[in-house]
């Protein structure tokens, strides 16, 4: 990576009678940062920042978020423009390479991705080892981790060609692996990829086709799937991406790193929120039950949260949620469910929350997960697949961030410190004297 951090001056940290110069630097947009890399060596002090709310862990040129303004850019391009005018495969190229492709570059890239969609036949036997009721994310953590046992010709992290092949393999195979996890849980045969179809259509076919019948891809659903993938493709240093970078910082191979990202994504505060948001809407059931639910959310003695609301970075409407809301209406119309009671609950819940002081004061707005669950349900996916779909989409972001880190000369093994508050040194007491 061509490092571009610019020096911007310095700040002074005064501790007792000692003063330390702390360099200030900045990027192209966004707030400046205090460069504290030498602070410990100079002062013997660490900084304390659980949850990394005030800490930049790396330099990156991939994705920019302005949480106050509700802006999300991939390589400088606004998410709504990409969702409306581009395609997921083009977005993959953009995230990996930093620029929009020419027609020839896109054709070559698409060719490479489609030629990697199959998985080693032996990998399909892994699935038989899982219980049929296993969560697809549990299956995916295992199967994606196992890819490193199959593709030895793309695990040399110091070889740029290996890194590129591993990226293409991961983007290409994740839909196949996720669709196989789905098919396994419902007891249907696996459907092999069909390379004449585009990325999203191929995925829908692998999920919903059966050998006994022809399957015709619905273009509205294919477009919805493609936009869903684009909206979830990257989100700078979120928990799963940071997990991928941290795993990669030790030199672990890319397949193992992406498996760690999938494990992190699974949690309900992160990728699992779309599943939780739909369960919440189902639990509320009707518009009449909303006031009682909102009262529970606002009760300081309850830990009920409005799932699909709030975000660590967005203190404004999540720009992805706006696109997702439109997509939701289009998909529900297509399946003739525009009067779906869950959609009515969602619309009314959003209206109430956006006008309620509790949510306004805390800057809690709908995030992408608020409408994605209803949309995916209408597309035919069970709730247990929602986070798996997020993982398929986010794989390109994870691997682009991993590649950027591998090419960054400032990269070192990630190793946070701690404030230790446990027992000071003490002597062992033998069992008979305790
Ligand atoms: N419903 C009700 N109150 C909330 C919510 C919510 N969804 N989110 C935050 N709050 C309140 C929280 O109780 C706290 O109030 P108080 O100051 O009175 O104690 C205040 O807002 C700040 O909350 P926080 O937990 O300190 O905020 P955070 O930045 O650590 O949490 C979050 C961010 C996304 C984990 C949280 O908003 C949340 O749990 N939301 C619901 C889960 C969700 O939708 N997650 C998807 C995130 S977007 C997809 C992704 O990137 O993975």
Express each pLDDT in 23-47 by its tens digit: 999 999 999 999 999 999 999 999 9
Model confidence at 263, pLDDT cuts 50, 70, 90, reads very high
Among the listed residues 116, 235, 270, 311, the single catalytic one is 311
Ligand 1, atom 31, lies closest to the CA of 312
C-alpha to C-alpha distance for 57 and 407, rounded to whole angstroms: 15
Q: Which of 137, 275, 310, 313 to mutate to test the pocket of ligand 1 (most atoms within 8 A of CB)?
A: 310
pLDDT for the residue 65: 97
Tokens 């990829």 belong to residue:
193
The pLDDT of 388-412, averaged and rounded, is 96
The pLDDT of 303-324, averaged and rounded, is 92
The closest-lying atom of ligand 1 relative to the alpha carbon of residue 297 is: 2
pLDDT for the residue 119: 97
SS3 state of residue 95: helix
C-alpha to C-alpha distance for 171 and 167, rounded to whole angstroms: 6
The pLDDT of 392-415, averaged and rounded, is 96
The closest-lying atom of ligand 1 relative to the alpha carbon of residue 312 is: 29
Cβ atoms of residues 126 and 119 within 8 Å = no
Q: Pairing mode, if any, of strands 18-26 and 33-34?
A: antiparallel
Backbone CA torsion sign across 311, 314, 317, 318: negative
Cβ atoms of residues 41 and 22 within 8 Å = no
The closest-lying atom of ligand 1 relative to the alpha carbon of residue 53 is: 29
- Mean pLDDT of all residues belonging to the chain: 95
Ligand 1, atom 27, lies closest to the CA of 312
Phi, psi of 127 (to 5 degrees): -60, -40
pLDDT for the residue 338: 83
Answer yes or no: is pLDDT of 407 > 90. Answer: yes
Answer yes or no: is pLDDT of 271 > 90. Answer: no
C-alpha to C-alpha distance for 206 and 198, rounded to whole angstroms: 12
Answer yes or no: is pLDDT of 412 > 90. Answer: yes
Model confidence at 93, pLDDT cuts 50, 70, 90, reads very high
C-alpha to C-alpha distance for 246 and 58, rounded to whole angstroms: 11
Backbone CA torsion sign across 184, 186, 192, 196: negative
The pLDDT of 345-365, averaged and rounded, is 93
Answer yes or no: is pLDDT of 169 > 90. Answer: yes
Ligand 1 centroid–CA 363 distance in Å is 10
Q: Which of 241, 334, 353 is nearest to 249 (CA)?
A: 241
Ligand 1 centroid–CA 320 distance in Å is 17
Ligand 1 centroid–CA 311 distance in Å is 6
The closest-lying atom of ligand 1 relative to the alpha carbon of residue 390 is: 52
Helix, strand, coil percent values for the chain (each to nearest 5) = 55, 10, 40
Ligand 1 centroid–CA 239 distance in Å is 14
HSE (CB half, 13 Å, CA atoms) of 30? 23
Cβ atoms of residues 98 and 75 within 8 Å = yes
Assess whether 369 carries a catalytic annotation: yes
Q: Provide Rg for the chain, Cα atoms.
A: 23
Conformation bin of residue 14: beta by default, left when phi > 0, alpha when psi is -120 to 50:
beta
Model confidence at 339, pLDDT cuts 50, 70, 90, reads confident
pLDDT for the residue 270: 86
C-alpha to C-alpha distance for 383 and 180, rounded to whole angstroms: 16
Q: Measuring from each residue's beta carbon to the nearest atom of ligand 1, which residues come in under 6 Å?
A: 235, 238, 269-271, 273, 297, 305-312, 362, 364, 367-369
Strand partners, 10: 23
Model confidence at 434, pLDDT cuts 50, 70, 90, reads very high
Ligand 1 centroid–CA 393 distance in Å is 23
Lowest mean pLDDT among 81-85, 259-263, 334-338: 334-338
Cβ atoms of residues 369 and 273 within 8 Å = yes
C-alpha to C-alpha distance for 430 and 434, rounded to whole angstroms: 7
Ligand 1 centroid–CA 73 distance in Å is 23
Q: Read out DSSP for 6-59?
A: EEEEEEEEEETTEEEEEEEEE-SSS--EE--TTHHHHHS-----GGGTT---S-
Ligand 1, atom 25, lies closest to the CA of 312
Model confidence at 157, pLDDT cuts 50, 70, 90, reads very high
Ligand 1, atom 15, lies closest to the CA of 362
pLDDT for the residue 326: 93
**For residue 340, what is the DSSP state?**
-
Answer yes or no: is pLDDT of 343 > 90. Answer: no
The closest-lying atom of ligand 1 relative to the alpha carbon of residue 318 is: 48
Answer yes or no: is pLDDT of 268 > 90. Answer: no
Among the listed residues 226, 234, 318, 369, the single catalytic one is 369
Residues ≥6 apart with Cβ < 8 Å to 389: 178, 228, 232, 376, 381
Answer yes or no: is pLDDT of 273 > 90. Answer: no
Residues ≥6 apart with Cβ < 8 Å to 325: 366, 370, 371
Q: pLDDT exceeding 90 applies to what percent of the chain?
A: 93
First to last CA, the chain: 58
The pLDDT of 3-20, averaged and rounded, is 96
Ligand 1 centroid–CA 312 distance in Å is 7
Model confidence at 340, pLDDT cuts 50, 70, 90, reads confident
Model confidence at 234, pLDDT cuts 50, 70, 90, reads very high
Ligand 1, atom 8, lies closest to the CA of 310
Token pair for residue 332?
């529900």
The pLDDT of 186-208, averaged and rounded, is 97
Ligand 1, atom 50, lies closest to the CA of 270
Token pair for residue 364?
């809690």
The closest-lying atom of ligand 1 relative to the alpha carbon of residue 367 is: 48
């Amino acid at each position: 990576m061509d490092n571009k951090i610019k020096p911007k001056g310095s700040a002074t940290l005064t501790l007792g009678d000692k003063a330390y110069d702390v360099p200030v630097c900045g990027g192209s947009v966004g707030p400046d940062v205090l460069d504290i890399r030498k602070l410990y060596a100079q002062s013997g002090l660490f900084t304390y920042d659980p949850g990394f709310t005030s800490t930049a862990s790396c330099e990156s040129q991939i994705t920019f978020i302005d949480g106050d303004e509700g802006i999300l850019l991939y390589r400088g391009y606004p998410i709504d423009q990409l969702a409306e005018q581009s395609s997921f495969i083009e977005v993959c190229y953009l995230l990996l390479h930093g620029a929009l492709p020419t027609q020839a570059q896109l054709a070559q890239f698409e060719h490479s991705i489609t030629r990697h969609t199959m998985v080693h036949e032996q990998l399909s036997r892994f699935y038989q080892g899982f219980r049929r009721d296993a969560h697809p994310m549990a299956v995916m953590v295992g199967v994606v981790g196992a890819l490193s046992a199959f593709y030895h010709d793309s695990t040399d992290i110091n070889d740029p060609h290996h890194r590129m092949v591993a990226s293409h393999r991961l983007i290409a195979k994740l839909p196949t692996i996720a669709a196989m996890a789905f098919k396994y849980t419902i007891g249907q045969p696996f459907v092999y990829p069909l390379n004449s179809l585009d990325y999203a259509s191929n995925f829908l076919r692998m999920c919903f086709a059966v050998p006994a019948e022809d399957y015709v891809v619905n273009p509205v659903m294919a477009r919805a799937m493609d936009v869903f993938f684009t909206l979830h493709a990257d989100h700078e240093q979120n928990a799963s991406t940071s997990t991928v970078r941290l795993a990669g910082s030790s030199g672990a191979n890319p397949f193992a790193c992406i498996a760690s990202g999938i494990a992190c994504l699974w949690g309900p505060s992160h990728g699992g929120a779309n599943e939780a948001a739909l369960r919440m809407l189902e639990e509320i059931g009707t518009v009449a039950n909303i006031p009682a639910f909102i009262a529970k959310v606002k009760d300081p003695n309850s830990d009920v949260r409005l799932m699909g609301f709030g975000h660590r970075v967005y203190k404004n409407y999540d720009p992805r949620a706006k696109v997702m809301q439109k997509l939701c209406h289009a998909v529900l119309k297509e399946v003739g469910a525009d009067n779906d009671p869950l959609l009515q609950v969602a619309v009314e819940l959003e209206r109430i929350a956006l006008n309620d002081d509790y949510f306004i004061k805390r800057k809690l707005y709908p995030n992408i997960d608020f409408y994605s669950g209803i949309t995916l349900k209408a597309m035919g996916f069970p709730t247990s697949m929602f986070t798996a779909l997020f993982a398929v989409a986010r794989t390109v972001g994870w691997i682009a961030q991993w590649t950027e880190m591998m090419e960054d000369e400032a990269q070192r093994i990630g190793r946070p410190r701690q404030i230790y508050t446990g027992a000071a040194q003490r002597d062992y007491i033998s069992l008979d004297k305790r």
